[in-house]
């Protein structure tokens, strides 16, 4: 490849894509029109599924080390607790928690990893023009010194935010609307009766309040406000009054680090790819900040696109796999958008009858366990799936496209259960012995290794009577063909060397499992 892939935008999504490609030996040029990033915190929470995927590029454990662990999400109504969805009770992830961390620190750690992989960011370079319709993309940049530069690239990735120049140059519509609600946001020190390791959503008839910890004492504070306050800069006294009116009680604010009002837009690009270009992150979708899913959803975009584009450029995957980026990620984005929009509307209810019904439903979901086994995985994006249709089968059984509970990436595993560890460099063969290991299991594993060759990663799942992998793959021996992002491609209930070899060849040359 004589020209690098061009990534426009050096926020978290662009940096992750850069790390994904550089880690596969693919040359990348990352440009950003903004000379320096703001130190103001934007996204502040990283959920379990993005952490799993960030481990593939060697940065998840750095984020965990520097960030603040969040153990769950608590719901309140009129100062009274309703229920809590506990992340630390999730048994099917190596990261049963979220991380609170200011976005500028997330970006700093991602940039550190990018530099280690041989990359850099060219700041003050602005995209002026793009034609992605030919066999190679053509671009014109406005440079920081006032000059211009025209380049060609095999592929272009627009990770340049909500006002994406890439998306506009491609002529892709950004469909959606503005919700009739705004959020005033700030970061501040909080003292008083507030859990330092829980995200708290506080509902009242006057509006909602979200408190997301960034450190043991600092929180992101998000307050729903009417549209007429869209152009104001809320004061410390304003936030203190709202926290007293809507919060759990007895909470005091320190000095505000910043203050702004966020207008809620829900928009999705008509398509996530066009010609030789792709869109990712806010360039492809905007959603309500309720639930803190925006950046996290973009991180899943970056992972999905990164392994596919890298494999195509390395020659290990058929180019048709790139067509699945749009179909997989647009469906996933729609699912998250529906969830966050529903949460926004629930928080904006004002009628006493509506409030009573909502509170009763949340309490019932907490008592019955529904909140824990259904909502907690959704909050962590652990329910992310690329399956087509809804096949009937054993409860908890994984279907092609579903995420598997495996440990992705290199290096020592995090503390906890013994996880099946997969590097995520390419498709891997996961050999699952089932509940009772067959007498000839080692001979079967050796035969499969011999057929697929040394270039293919073959992993033997740990033998455990119970565990999330047993639930996903079943009680009988099987071979699972696992995508680089940890999603199931094919499950072979009768793993023979020939069947595994055929499935592996099909995966590298087909677009679906």
Give the pLDDT confidence of 227-244 residue by residue, as tens digits. 776 667 899 999 999 999
Going by the DSSP 8-state scheme, the letter that residue 385 receives in this structure is: B
Q: How many CB atoms lie within 10 A of CB 408?
A: 25
Q: Which of these ranges, 18-32, 33-47, 342-356, has the smallest mean pLDDT? A: 33-47
Its CATH class, for the domain covering 407-509, is alpha beta
Give me the half-sphere count of Cα atoms (radius 13 Å) on the Cβ side of residue 322: 20
> pLDDT band for position 477 (50/70/90)?
very high
The pLDDT, as a whole number, for residue 513 is 41
Buried b (16+ CB within 10 A) or exposed e, 110-119: bbebbeebeb
The pLDDT, as a whole number, for residue 501 is 93
The pLDDT, as a whole number, for residue 417 is 66
Flag whether pLDDT at 482 surpasses 80.
yes
Do residues 338 and 285 lie in contact, with contact meaning Cβ atoms separated by under 8 Å?
no
CATH architecture of 176-264: 2-Layer Sandwich (3.30)
Tell me the average pLDDT across 344-353. Answer: 80
Which strand (E) or helix (H) includes residue 324? Answer: helix 323-347
User: Can you tell me which residue has the tokens 């806010």?
Assistant: 282
Flag whether pLDDT at 39 surpasses 70.
no
Flag whether pLDDT at 62 surpasses 50.
yes
Q: Could you give the angle at the alpha carbon of 115 between the alpha carbons of 109 and 120, nearest 5°?
A: 110
- Compute the distance between CA of residue 162 and CA of residue 185 in angstroms, rounded to an integer: 18
Going by the DSSP 8-state scheme, the letter that residue 373 receives in this structure is: I
Percent of the chain at pLDDT > 70 equals 94
Contacts of 18 (CB under 8 A, 6+ apart): 7, 28, 30, 114, 117, 119
The pLDDT, as a whole number, for residue 416 is 61
Flag whether pLDDT at 119 surpasses 60.
yes
The pLDDT, as a whole number, for residue 512 is 46
Do residues 291 and 266 lie in contact, with contact meaning Cβ atoms separated by under 8 Å?
no
Do residues 495 and 473 lie in contact, with contact meaning Cβ atoms separated by under 8 Å?
no
- Compute the distance between CA of residue 502 and CA of residue 508 in angstroms, rounded to an integer: 10
Flag whether pLDDT at 142 surpasses 50.
yes
Tell me the fold of 5-44+102-173+270-339: FAD/NAD(P)-binding domain (3.50.50)
Do residues 164 and 283 lie in contact, with contact meaning Cβ atoms separated by under 8 Å?
yes
Q: Which of these ranges, 395-404, 462-471, 500-509, has the smallest mean pLDDT? A: 462-471
Q: Which of these ranges, 344-358, 422-436, 468-482, has the smallest mean pLDDT? A: 344-358
Structure token digits, residue 246: 């809507």
- Closest among 260, 192, 177, 193 to 221, alpha carbons compared: 260
- Compute the distance between CA of residue 90 and CA of residue 419 in angstroms, rounded to an integer: 14
Flag whether pLDDT at 430 surpasses 70.
yes
- Closest among 100, 191, 141 to 6, alpha carbons compared: 141
- Compute the distance between CA of residue 384 and CA of residue 402 in angstroms, rounded to an integer: 7
Domain boundary assignment for the chain: 5-44+102-173+270-339, 176-264, 407-509
Q: Which of these ranges, 64-73, 284-293, 356-365, 440-449, has the smallest mean pLDDT? A: 284-293
């Amino acid at each position: 490849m004589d020209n690098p892939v061009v990534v426009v935008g050096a926020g978290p999504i662009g940096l992750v894509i850069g790390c994904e490609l550089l880690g596969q030996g693919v040359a990348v040029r990352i440009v950003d029109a903004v000379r320096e990033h703001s130190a103001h915190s934007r996204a502040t929470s990283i959920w379990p599924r993005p952490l799993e995927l960030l481990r593939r590029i060697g940065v998840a454990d750095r984020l965990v080390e520097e960030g603040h662990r969040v153990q769950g999400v608590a719901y309140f109504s009129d100062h009274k607790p309703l229920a809590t969805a506990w992340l630390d009770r999730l048994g099917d992830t190596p990261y049963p928690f979220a991380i609170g961390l200011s976005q500028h620190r997330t970006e700093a750690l991602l940039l550190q990893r990018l530099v280690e992989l041989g990359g850099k960011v060219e700041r003050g370079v602005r995209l002026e023009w793009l034609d992605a319709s030919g066999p190679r993309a053509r671009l014109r940049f406005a440079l920081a010194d006032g000059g211009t530069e025209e380049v060609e690239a095999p592929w272009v990735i627009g990770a340049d935010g909500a006002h994406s120049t890439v998306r506009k140059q491609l002529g892709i519509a950004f469909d959606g609307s503005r919700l009739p609600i705004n959020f005033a946001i700030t970061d501040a020190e909080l003292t008083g009766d507030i859990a330092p390791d829980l995200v708290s959503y506080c509902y009242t008839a006057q509006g909602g309040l979200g408190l997301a910890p960034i450190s043991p004492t600092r929180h992101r504070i998000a307050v729903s406000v009417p549209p007429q306050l869209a152009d104001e800069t809320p004061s410390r006294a304003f936030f203190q009054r709202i926290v007293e009116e809507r919060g759990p009680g007895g909470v005091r604010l320190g000095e505000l680090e910043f203050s702004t009002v966020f207008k809620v837009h829900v928009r999705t690009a008509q398509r996530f790819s066009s010609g030789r270009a792709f869109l990712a992150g806010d360039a492809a979708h905007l959603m309500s900040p309720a639930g803190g899913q925006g950046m996290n959803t973009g991180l899943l975009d970056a992972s999905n696109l990164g392994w596919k584009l890298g494999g195509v450029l390395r020659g290990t995957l058929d180019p048709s796999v790139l067509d699945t980026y749009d179909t997989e990620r647009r469906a996933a984005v729609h699912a998250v958008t529906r969830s966050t929009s529903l949460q926004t509307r629930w928080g904006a209810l004002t009628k006493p009858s509506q409030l009573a019904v909502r509170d009763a439903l949340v309490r019932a979901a907490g008592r019955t366990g529904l909140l824990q086994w259904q909502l907690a995985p959704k909050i962590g994006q652990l329910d992310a799936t690329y399956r087509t249709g809804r096949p009937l089968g054993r409860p908890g059984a994984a279907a092609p496209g579903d995420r598997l509970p495996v440990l992705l990436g290199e290096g020592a595993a995090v503390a906890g259960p013994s996880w099946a560890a997969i590097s995520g460099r390419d498709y891997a063969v996961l050999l699952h012995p089932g509940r009772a290991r067959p007498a000839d299991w080692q001979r079967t594993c050796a035969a499969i290794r011999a057929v697929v060759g040394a270039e293919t990663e073959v992993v033997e799942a740990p033998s455990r009577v119970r565990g999330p992998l047993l639930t996903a793959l079943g009680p009988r021996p099987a071979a699972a063909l696992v995508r680089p992002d940890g999603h199931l491609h094919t499950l072979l209930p009768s793993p023979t060397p020939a069947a595994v070899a055929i499935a592996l060849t099909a995966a590298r040359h087909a677009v679906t499992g």
